[in-house]
Amino acid sequence: MKINEFSKQKHPPFPLKMSCIKNNIHIKILLKIKSILFDREIRNYYFFLAKGCISKKTSKSVLIDIETMEGTRRMVLQTIKLFLNCGLTCYVRFSVNYYWKMDKYAKSIITLNKVYYSRRKTKSIIVVSGSEDFLKKNNGSMKILFKMNLLQNLEKISTNDFFLPCLLHPNLFNVNTEKTIYTAALNNVNNERHIAALFCGNVNNVLSLDKIDNITYNLNLTKNYFSIYTRIEMFKYIYEELPGMVYLPTSYEDLIKKTKAEELKNKIVLIDTEQIRIPQDKLFEIFLDTNFFIYMSGDWQPYCHNHIESMLAGCIPITQFNRFYLNNFSHIQNALLFNNLIELKEILQNICYDKYEKFLVNMRKELLELYKQKFSFESFRFKLNNFLKNKCDNIVYYAPQTSSENFINK
């Protein structure tokens, strides 16, 4: 291009580039505003703050200092739901930065009714915190120290303390679900069930010939510190040692078909949820038709939500974890207990040979009573009411850690 031709152009290249840059900046700003307005988490958070400004003051409330509870996971949601069920309004305290670290279950607390963001002058009849210093500064309130080190304090837990292992899965953790399933289990306590024994959980395709994750659900920490078998160890052992008695469903539909055909009344059903997806809203239907549930560890610690879910439905525990449940289980009274894999094998064989059949009804009744007394919403309400009535000073809310890193650092 010649010089005189370049000079005749109406829009020289350099100004054009500057214009594009400005437009791009405007577009980025608009996109950022749009993301803020349409992002559900951000929108919920600011609605939550606004709701806190106009909340009605009530003396029947609990102040929960979430950030000192170390519980950025489901335990926070479960704790708040327990207090809400007792008729208390919940005020929660956490920094903005901490909110973004919380997982989806903990974040969902801000969408619950009667949950408000705590202002500095918020006063409640109960204060829950993981910090003793924070509790000391709140004079005049009844205090509950939240300790996420349940496993290191099993011997210290008193009957006054709150003992909260992993409870029902957050998606299932509500009063109506509990009432429906418990009533069904209690009303059908004498009825025949069509699955002899069951385990249902993720074991990372352990029986597949493909590459296996040998770490998750198979940690040395689980074996060495707790002196229990890992989930993968138990799953593989049962499958390999009792081949004629084990049934591996090929699909959820296949499981239901065989259950209805009464083909599993003397079978041990092993379900790897990594391969066979069970609809969560159908899980309790399976549990309500199962006699025994095999307790296997969580990803690193003894507790797992499927223990409590199966207990609610009246599935009798087969467990090595009695001490982690404060020795609430008794052999052939409300559970079947084992210490090693040889004993587990014998128990499972006896189940398949119907050797516990005459004990089933009484064991199920005892188990459902245990659930009601120790793990239900109503048991929490009862203990909280006693706490308020007697004005105890040193009550503790014990919950398990959510990660092995926290456990090791303790």
CATH number at residue 124: 3.40.50
pLDDT for position 6 = 44
pLDDT for position 334 = 98
Tokens of 180: 């429906």
Q: Are residues 66 and 139 in the same domain?
A: yes
pLDDT for position 21 = 53
pLDDT for position 207 = 85
pLDDT tens-digit profile of 66-105?
999 876 678 899 999 999 999 999 999 888 888 888 888 9
pLDDT for position 53 = 77
Q: What is the CA radius of gyration of the chain?
A: 27
Q: Are residues 55 and 180 in the same domain?
A: no
Residue 130 lies in a domain: yes
Domain hosting 392: range is 42-165+379-409
For 365, the 3-state DSSP assignment is helix
Q: Report whether 394 contacts 157 (CB < 8 A).
A: no
Tokens of 240: 């390999």
How do the residues of the chain divide into helix, strand and coil, expressed in percent and rounded to 5?
Answer: 50, 15, 40
Q: Are residues 247 and 368 in the same domain?
A: yes
Q: Are residues 81 and 205 in the same domain?
A: no
Q: Report whether 333 contacts 368 (CB < 8 A).
A: no
For 263, the 3-state DSSP assignment is coil
Residue 27 lies in a domain: no
Tokens of 141: 């309130």
C-alpha 402 chain-centroid distance: 10
64 has which bridge partners? 92, 128
For 159, the 3-state DSSP assignment is coil
Side-chain-side CA neighbours of 109 within 13 Å: the count stands at 30
pLDDT tens-digit profile of 341-394?
999 999 999 999 999 999 999 999 999 999 999 999 999 999 999 998 887 767
Q: Are residues 127 and 47 in the same domain?
A: yes
d(CA 21, CA 129): 50
Q: Are residues 401 and 360 in the same domain?
A: no
Q: Are residues 218 and 343 in the same domain?
A: yes
145 has which bridge partners? 129, 396
Q: Are residues 80 and 215 in the same domain?
A: no
Which residues of the chain register pLDDT less than 50? 1-3, 5-11, 14, 16
d(CA 95, CA 108): 16
pTM tops 0.85, yes or no: yes
**Domain total for the chain?**
2
